[in-house]
Structure formats: structure tokens, C-alpha cells
Chains A and B, each alone.
Chain A
Amino acid sequence: MDTSGTLDLLLLGGFLAIPVVGVLAMLASTKPRHVLVINFAASLGAGILSLALAFRLSGRDVIRVADGFLRADHFSAWHLLLLTLAVFSPSSLFSFSYFKNDAAVTLGGMRRFGMLWQGSLASMSLALISGNIGIMWVAIEASTLFTAFLILREGNSASLEAMWRYIIMCSVGVAFAFIGTLLFAAAAQKAGLNGSDSLLLDKIYSVKDKLNPSLAMAGFVFILIGYGTKAGLAPMHNWLPDAHSQAPGPVSAMFSGFLLNTALYCIVRFMPIASGAQAEPGKPLKLLMFLGILSIALSSIFIFFQQDAKRMLAYCSVEHLGIIAFGYALGPAGAFAALFHTMNHSLAKTTGFFAAGTLGKKLGTNDFSAFAGAAKKYPLWGGGLALSLLALIGVAPFSVFMSEFLLVKAGIDTSAWLPTGIFLAATCVVFVRMLKHSIDIAWKPTALPASSPELVGAADEGKTRDGFAATFIIAAPLILLLVFGLWMPGFLFDFIQKAKEALWSIK
């Protein structure tokens, strides 16, 4: 028991230790390239650690250390796997090709990038493994602060504006989530828990029937608005398209791929507690459903009129986070589809941002009209963008199609007719629009005039090989999306199933 406890502590503590070691190694390194290597190694290390955690959880429901301050169950392990393996590792690999031949690459600049990157990784992991809702809040706020300066590109005023908007909106929003946290703690103390237990997720869940219903409901509203701002749910999403479009490529991918999901994870964690406290358990879910559907509907309009590729991908994230929220809001019936969709979205969206970020840098603009025919000149990036757009809109047999199909089925099973109808209508609008963009990128004749100096430079660059790493980060997620769309391995099915159970009964 004692050695097993130490192993658990090492496992969960490792998620904080690896980034710290990474930062120390970066300070000792002397070349910008070495910093990026360390950055990738630390991200991959966290990925291996989350695999180890997933294995350790086989046959157990939960790992709890430090009096329950840190805890991990299948639900958190699923998110950790996606955070490290589907988002952070490929994104830090992508930073090699993104920063190549970049004038801004200096040792100091790369060190700053690497340290903030590892800080974001540590804070997001902490949010996912904290069993204490106060620490969870501290971690989310810390992730806002770490990521803020990642948006900034030196000497670029638009990115400064985006950063200011991000930091003010998210700090204020997340401050409201702390009011929600306090309200839950107050309710738990009224229900008989003592001081430090009143912040522990599993302890609050164990007294959920005794919580004051109006207090728990008020707490959930604050949590939803607060973390919802960070998760990019409409109508609190205004910061999101700016931050996502202005940030450097790897950062946009990380923002869209998982920063938003981490905040949504926190909202969803409170869902079973808030529902358990109500006489009518569906009440808190209806609120989440409303924000989810509003996000889907609003973003579909913005996507329709958007000409900037990165902004469109950002609005697409609002849409997909809305879809995931919609799934969770259907209750246990939709949780499986929501968890599956989280993975599909993270894989497809990071690929999309890798490709769009590189094309934007090569062509000097993010405008879709300039991207026309890009697949001929840059087969990897143009083709990757076209395919990831197809994956995102749910073209069969990509797995996004499967998870959206499961979602519609869950919506019909629970007779949520109106939300399912709006969801289908909005995704159809997005489907048509993004299909057009995808076809343009793949087949339309190039729009840029041949004499453009950018084009001449770009054409030379286009001939240089993209390298194995770049090919890998574009091809591997797309292949995975294709495979999971056609065939879901048994172990994956079991894991998502267990994650779903862990969400709705916190042990």
C-alpha cells in the first residue's frame, strides 16, 4: 500500500515536475534550437506519463494523493491523454518548422516561448488532476496568465490588441468562476462538511442530495459564465477569434486544440453535483444546453461570412465547443459522443491550424482568396488544410462524422428535438461553406499575380522539402481520424465508456 501510494504521488506529481525540469534545462541551453528540442521532449514526457496514468487506472476507479488535493479518474485521464499526446506534443514538434528561417528566433525569444509553453502545460495538467475546486480555479487562472504572452508577437500591434482583450475578458470571467466555487463551498459547509473538505470534488459529490438547491444552482450559473468565458462559449466568446488568429501557429493550435477544452472540463465537473442538488435534475443541464446551442448557431453565421482562414478556424472552435457542451448537456446519454468528439475536434483542429499557420506565413496573408489552389504549390500544407476542413465539417468516413452522428442519436433518444434541429441546421450551413473553401484550396487556379514578390520567394521555398516531422504531424492525425471513423478499437471504446461513468458518478 505504501509503495503504491508513493508511485501514485510520483505519477501525479510528475505532471508538475516535468515542466519544471524542462524550464531548468532551457535556462541551461545555449542554442534556440536546443530550447525547442527540450520543449518537445518535456511535452512528450508528459504524454508518456499520461499513458502510464491510463495503464495505472486499469482495474481501479480513481487515484488519490495528498488528501485528495490531487485526484485522477478515467475522465481526467482521457483529457490528459488528449492534452499531451494530441495537442502539446505535435504542437511543439510543429514549432520547429514554424520558427524555421524566422528572424524573430533568438535564444531569449525561444526561451521565453518554451517557458511559457511549459507553464501552460503544467497549469492545464493541474486543472485536470486537481480534486480540489479551489486549486482547479488557481490552475485555470494561471493558464490564462501563462498563455497571454504567447499570443504576443514582437512589434505586432494587432497581436497586442488581441492579448489585451484576452487577458481582461478571461481574467474577469474566471474571477466570476471563483464566486461560483465559493458558493459551492458554502453550500457544502451548510451540508455538514468541514472547512478543507468543503472544496474537495468527491466530498461535495457525496453530500450532493443535502446541498441547498438554490445555492448550488447559483454556484453553477457563476461557474458556467466564468469558465464558459475561457471555454469560448457564446456570448462570452469575443476574445477568442482575435487571440486565435493573432497568435503564432503552434500557439493557435494549442489554444483551439485544448485550452478551451480544459475550461469546459471544469464546467462539466460541476454538472453532476449541481444536478444532484436539484429536485429536477435537468435544470443545470438546460443552461449548458442553451449556451452550447447558442454557440453553434452564432458561430455558424460568423463562419459563413468569414474570409480570414485563421479566424474561421477560431469560430469553428466556438462551434465545436458548443457541440461538445451540447453533448454533455444531454446527460449520460450524450456524454460518450461528447468525449469522442473532444478527441476528434482536437486532432482535426490542431492539424488545421498547423496547415493554415504555415500557409499564412508562406503567403503573407490569411485570406482565403490567397489560399486558392494552395494544394498544388504546397501539397503538404494546402492538402492538409483542405483535408482537415473536410474532417472538421464531418465528411464521412472521418470520425467527426461518427461522433456527430452519435450525438444526433443521443438527442433523438432523449427527445431534445429543438436543440438537435438547430444543431443540424447550423452544421449544414457550416458544411456547405467550408466545403467550398476546401475545394478552392485543392483545385481552384492560384489567385496571386505571378509578379508578386511574395510568390517568387514562396515558390523557391515551396521546392524545399518539408521534412519528416512536418509530414508526420499533418498526416498522423488525419490517418487517426480516418481509422477511428471506420473502426473503433475495443480498448478505446472501453476507456471512453469508463470516462463517461467517472463523470457521472464521482468516486
Chain B
Amino acid sequence: MTILNELLLVAILVTNIALSGNSRLKTCIDIVSIQGFALGLLPAVIGLETGMSVELVVIAIAGIVLRGIVFPHLLKKSIQNASASRELKPVVGYFLSTLIALALIAVSLWLSRRLQFLDPSLLLFSTVALATIFTGTFIIVGRRLAVMQIVGYILLENGIYCLGLAFVREIPLIVELGVLFDAIVAVFVMSVATNKIHEEFEHFDVAKLDSLKG
């Protein structure tokens, strides 16, 4: 594992913590963009170590463009007309959220050390992947605004992608691209839905969508 690789992974960890404690929607989207760039570069850095291949280059470029540029752009568009620029009343407060994000990293490290099949050199990799998955899930549950739930979903996707890089080598290109394509369409569909929610209800606090019961 090279220093470059570790730097990228640590950058992803830092973005996770920063996201959980931030209330400004625009800043959150910028942080998602930074994480997307770091994640997109990862396969290229792995390629530098183990030998570059066409597949790795394609995946790196697709990753950087989609996760670093397209996702944040879609999110920004969906909050353009919104009245709220920050989330004031999350389910879990921001200070507590930051603490939870830190605790989730500790849990991920503990869990990764317990995975017997894992190559010890991939410990950091797996920790970062699990921490991103957990943080994403936590944001989906802990925030009320639809946009932040999409952010949580993107984090979850990022984490799973990272886990794939750690656990499984040589996933066929068509599968990788299929997964990436699904992720982009999912984010697109969700942001269109967010716009519709905003038009219909004049807010996008999904906790207030509670007419269907029983």
C-alpha cells in the first residue's frame, strides 16, 4: 500500500466525519464531491501499484466523472428552488452525529480486524469502506430532508464500491459499469422525486410525509 493510496482513504474518512456534522446543504454537497473524486482516483492508484489496465482506466474515469461531478450537480439542481439552505432540526443533533461518526469508524476497525479472510494489508481499505457504509446508513436514518437522504444513499453506494475494491479483484467491467449506471439513475430518480415533493408540499421534509398508515 502506497502513501498515495492511504492519503485517499484517509480523505474519504475525513469527508465522512465532516458530512455528519454539517448542516449547510451546499457544503454537504461539496463534501460529497470531494469524496467522489477521492474514490474515483482509487482504482487508478491501485493500477499504479499492480499494473495499469484498460479496465482500471475506464472505471477510474467513469468514477471521477459520475461521483465527483454528476452526482453533486444533480443534488445542487434539486436544492436550487428550495427555500431551506440548511437542515435545522435533524433527528439526531450535529454534535452527537459527529461523535457517532467517530464511533462508527472505531466499530469498522474492530469489525475489519475480525474478518479472518481479509489480507492484513487491506485493513485500512476495509475500515474505510465499512465506515462509509455505516455513515451513509446513519445519515439516511438521522436526517429529515430528502436531499440529505440522497446524500446518505450516495455514501452507502460509495462505501460498497470501496468494499468491492477491497474484497474482490477483477470484477468484470460490464458489471462495474452496470452498477455505476444504476447508481447514477438512482440518484437522478431520487432528485426528480425530491423536486416533485417540493412542488407538491412546498417543503422537502420527508418526516412530514406521514399520511399513509396501517
A residues whose Cβ falls under 8 Å from a Cβ of B? 69, 132, 134-135, 137-138, 141-142, 144-145, 148-149, 152, 157-158, 160-165, 167-168, 171-172, 175, 178-179, 182-183, 185-187, 189-190, 194-196, 198-199, 212, 214-215, 241-242, 245-246, 302, 305-306, 308, 311
Contact = CB atoms under 8 A, between A and B. Distances in A.
Size category of the binding interface on chain B: 35 or more
A189 B168 contact: yes
B153 A171 contact: yes
B186 A141 contact: yes
A220 to B, nearest CB: 16
Interface string B150-176: 000100110010011001111110110
B148 to A, nearest CB: 12
Greatest chain A CB density within 10 A among B160, B201, B214 is at B214
Contacts, number: 118
Contact of B170 (A132, A141, A194, A245): A194
B22 interface: no
Contacts of A141: 182, 186
Contacts of B193: 148, 160, 163-164, 167
A323 B14 CA distance: 46
A182 B212 contact: no
25 contacts: A132-B172, A134-B178, A134-B179, A142-B182, A160-B196, A160-B197, A161-B209, A161-B212, A164-B193, A164-B206, A168-B153, A172-B140, A172-B156, A182-B163, A182-B167, A185-B168, A195-B172, A196-B170, A199-B171, A199-B172, A214-B116, A241-B214, A302-B214, A305-B214, A308-B214
A196 B140 contact: no
A209 B164 CA distance: 23
Contacts of B149: 168
B175 A134 contact: yes
Nearest to B133: A179
B66 interface: no
B52 interface: no
Contacts of B163: 179, 182
Contacts of A178: 160, 179
B1 interface: no
Nearest to A123: B182
A303 to B, nearest CB: 11
B185 interface: yes
A195 B169 contact: yes
A311 to B, nearest CB: 7
B9 interface: no
B214 A311 contact: yes
Contacts of B153: 168, 171-172, 175
Given A138-B178, A164-B206, A190-B117, 12 more contacts: A69-B174, A135-B174, A137-B179, A148-B193, A149-B189, A160-B196, A160-B197, A160-B209, A168-B153, A182-B163, A198-B170, A306-B214
A338 B140 CA distance: 35
Candidate in A149, A171, A215 with the most chain B CB atoms within 10 angstroms: A171
A286 B201 CA distance: 44
B169 A175 contact: no
A351 B193 CA distance: 30
A422 to B, nearest CB: 23
B190 interface: yes
Nearest to A141: B182
A132 B156 CA distance: 23
Contacts of B133: 179
Q: Looking at A142, A175, A194, A308, which has the most chain B CB atoms within 10 Å of its CB?
A: A175
Given A134-B179, A157-B200, A168-B153, A145 B189 contact: yes
Contacts of B31: none
B19 interface: no
Given A175-B156, A175-B160, A183 B167 contact: yes
A30 B167 CA distance: 51
B171 A185 contact: yes
Nearest to A132: B175
A280 B174 CA distance: 36
B209 A195 contact: no
Contacts of A189: 168-169
Contacts of B167: 182-183, 185-186
Given A186-B117, A198-B168, A215-B117, A172 B137 contact: yes
Nearest to A142: B182
B146 interface: yes
A145 B196 contact: no
Contacts of B146: 164
B211 interface: yes
A142 B214 contact: no
Given A152-B196, A311-B214, A195 B175 contact: no
A242 B170 CA distance: 40
B13 to A, nearest CB: 19
B214 A162 contact: no
Contacts of A152: 196
A245 B40 CA distance: 41
A165 B210 CA distance: 10
Contacts of A190: 117
A235 to B, nearest CB: 15
A135 B214 contact: no
Contacts of A195: 169-172
A212 B117 contact: yes
Contacts of A183: 167
A194 B146 CA distance: 41
B146 to A, nearest CB: 7
A244 to B, nearest CB: 11
